[in-house]
Structure 1
């Protein structure tokens, strides 16, 4: 069994990847999508969204990281995939699942599920462009409006050269509304010979049990559920191995929340860092009442130094720049 951390644009940046993989149970993670239009991107763009490339393409915990690309031009995607490999990407992942309207309007993400032939062409060209030892994988939804073409899309990805397929078990129109249609996972697996990962609506250990029973899947990708419950992968792995499942307490998680804030304070300007902290606290409040209390205290706060105090940290104000 493999458990993967999903690529969630605008949420799971390199800092949250670092923190969540240090909790444990995650076998690999994926970058936020790197948008490819009609040109070869500069190297610094890859390094900005995937700084782990400078550290063996793995997080601080040693968890492997895959580079995800999103776009619709097969040749341009292939060129950028080849460049990512020279920078150290161990796996190239292709995004055919993003439901965002702005992304879909520019022919990226889930809208391409309307064109199975294009999916095949994209994967084929990327597979040809990258070294043979580097896998090419893909993530898809069940379709754009309906799942009628889900099996055609899966076949297109597999015959194009994808060695794994993650299936978010909803259509684009479904968005993130429950339920996830886990019963489609075995249907997809029947028509392809590569491993299929189940993804969508796995928030708890019980959700995972039901997903495994309904989907028959052996491999899973965890998204919002893992952001809200950082030890979810650890709980799943423990149960799979017949070990005792002991949920993580807030006292155990809080040092990681503090470290998340430290890192975001260094990365972001003072006007943006508070939003990132509040964003994660909202998700954590689904699992920890303490996170909800902390969010309520931080909700209207924009002063980073006051948030330092709320998190029981000394002032983390950046040192002033030296004059030239």
Structure 2
């Protein structure tokens, strides 16, 4: 297949991906791991509004091309056509500051079956930023340009390359430069978390500041502080885009994607997920794979604590189980919460 044919395939892929409003499950370090992706994408599919795709937790690139087992650890879906069990595609996200290393790792990820490469310029974690990764690079638009351009050149022409950013690092003073770097680098689409690194995750999100990025000739996806359908509508209006990435709100209310699009869901399927219907999924989570039961229970408690913001029943279970370490006891408590 020649260069022009591959370019045409990519353009067709992007046109098809964005022909309707897209809804993505966000990459959240330490939260949307493969097990959580499996659960949340299955719920969305069962409710009749599956995620168009999800993005993996970032894979950190530092000194060399990572071995295959690292890619499979973060994205085991690569072994299954890069899709979850319910068929949701998984795009692979990389984080790093060295353009050639990022390019080499992206090329290898593509060889392993990644359907698209996403580049993280949004992570606000201090440990990441102190090692010149994530959102700190928003103060280096030229470096952003070099990384994206190198990745774009390294992966096959038919593989899309996207980027995820915030509005800036300490402030929004570099937004014009960031927009220019994105424009010139060959990015196929852009996701924007509508806060700076300094603003972290503290409300509000500044959706209106996404508006200026719509001047780019690529799709723009809005992200940040979307907890319910009203927030989603306000975000789309203020940002001037119909495309959304759902993060913590989708973990707190796993039915959020269906609630957001309930006005266009004409399948007759239920769009809200009652607590009793969520019990099965929580038990599946607790029966999932992890290095140890302690780790699995800890991960579940993280989710349960977030569910307390969306379900009153979760608060009752959380109050009783927050110090419990036995998985079987927690499963029994979940089953009793609907008895």
| Aligned-residue offset at 1:243 | 7.3
**Residue ranges of structure 2 left out of the alignment (5+ in a row):** 1-20
Which is further off, 272-281 or 165-174?
A: 272-281
Distance 1:155 1:15 in 2: 37
In 1, are the aligned partners of 2:25 and 2:54 still within 8 Å (CA)? yes
| Aligned-residue offset at 1:187 | 1.0
Of the candidates 2, 14, 20, which is equivalent to residue 40 of structure 2?
Answer: 20
Distance 1:261 1:154 in 2: 43
Which is further off, 223-232 or 233-242?
A: 233-242
Partner of 1:162: 187
TM-score, L = length of structure 2: 0.88
Partner of 1:279: 302
**Residue ranges of structure 1 left out of the alignment (5+ in a row):** 314-324
Which is further off, 219-228 or 291-300?
A: 291-300
Distance 2:60 2:113 in 1: 18
In 1, are the aligned partners of 2:279 and 2:335 still within 8 Å (CA)? no
**Residues 268 and 289 from structure 1, CA distance in 2 versus in 1: closer, same or farther, beyond 3 angstroms?**
farther
| Aligned-residue offset at 1:277 | 1.0
| Aligned-residue offset at 1:293 | 1.1
**CA RMSD across the alignment:** 1.5
Partner of 2:14: none
Q: In the alignment, does 2:139 pair up with 1:101? A: no
In 2, are the aligned partners of 1:5 and 1:28 still within 8 Å (CA)? yes
Partner of 1:219: 243
Of the candidates 70, 82, 93, which is equivalent to residue 95 of structure 2?
Answer: 70
In 2, are the aligned partners of 1:35 and 1:70 still within 8 Å (CA)? yes
Distance 1:66 1:231 in 2: 22
In 1, are the aligned partners of 2:41 and 2:84 still within 8 Å (CA)? yes
TM-score, L = length of structure 1: 0.92
Which contiguous aligned blocks of 4+ residues in structure 1 show a shift greater than 6 angstroms?
242-245
- Describe the SS at the equivalent of 1:183: helix
Distance 2:301 2:319 in 1: 9
Distance 2:271 2:115 in 1: 33
1:93-132 alignment runs, 5 A limit: 93-132=118-157
Cα shift readout 1:228-254 (whole Å, capped 9, x = no counterpart)? 010111122222457777421111111
Partner of 2:171: 146
